[in-house]
Amino acid sequence: MAEPMDKAKIHAAADEKIAAILRAAASWASEVPKELTPPIRAVCVRLAEMVADQRHYLAPLPEPMESERTAMLTLAAERLRSGPIAKELKEQLDALAEMELRATGSWSLVAGAQAEWVQTAIDYLQRQRDHVPLETRPDEYWAEDVVAGIIASVKGIIGADDLHSRIEAQYAGKGRPPVPPDND
């Protein structure tokens, strides 16, 4: 019989992931005017929420690690969606939602949906840039760089890299590959 999951460990791991996501957002916002920090944080939080919700597309781990990862990512996504960070960034997250930033559940596997999300995030950040005084505005292409960096950072933090996406893509429609039984 499998040992029950350690809820404290899962909560701590979710808190660590969220803290790492916020550090990544702070890093990407460090070289732009402070008025752009909340929009950058919002893009980072929304992407992290979406990636965490894609936990079913990650390469499976042996049990009990798979159950723990699923529980931790579920908790992280929920906290990003409705926790204190979401309340703090409500205005920015609502603006993103108005631009239909939320993509389908297949966004990580379907290139078109992923490209649409990327373009929407870039457009959102460019619109926010237009509200910054001209003399302090980042260059014309800063949003593309920031969004690309946020994507790489968040995928690394969550653990969903392109290799996992490619592996999972070959099983799309067939379900996940079976996990071999432990031969202990």
Residue-wise pLDDT for 97-147, tens only, equals 877 544 444 555 556 666 787 888 899 999 999 999 989 999 888 999 999
CA–CA gap between residue 112 and residue 1 (Å, rounded)? 43
Residue 111 lies in a domain: yes
In a domain, 90, yes or no: yes
pLDDT computed for residue 103 by the predictor = 46
Query: Which of the 8 DSSP states describes residue 33?
Result: -
pLDDT of residue 105: 47
pLDDT band at 39 (very low <50, low <70, confident <90, very high): very high
**Is 53 inside a domain boundary?**
yes
Q: Answer whether residue 26 is part of any domain.
A: yes
Domain hosting residue 101, numbered range = 7-169
Shortest CA distance to 91 belongs to which of 115, 116, 124, 122? 124
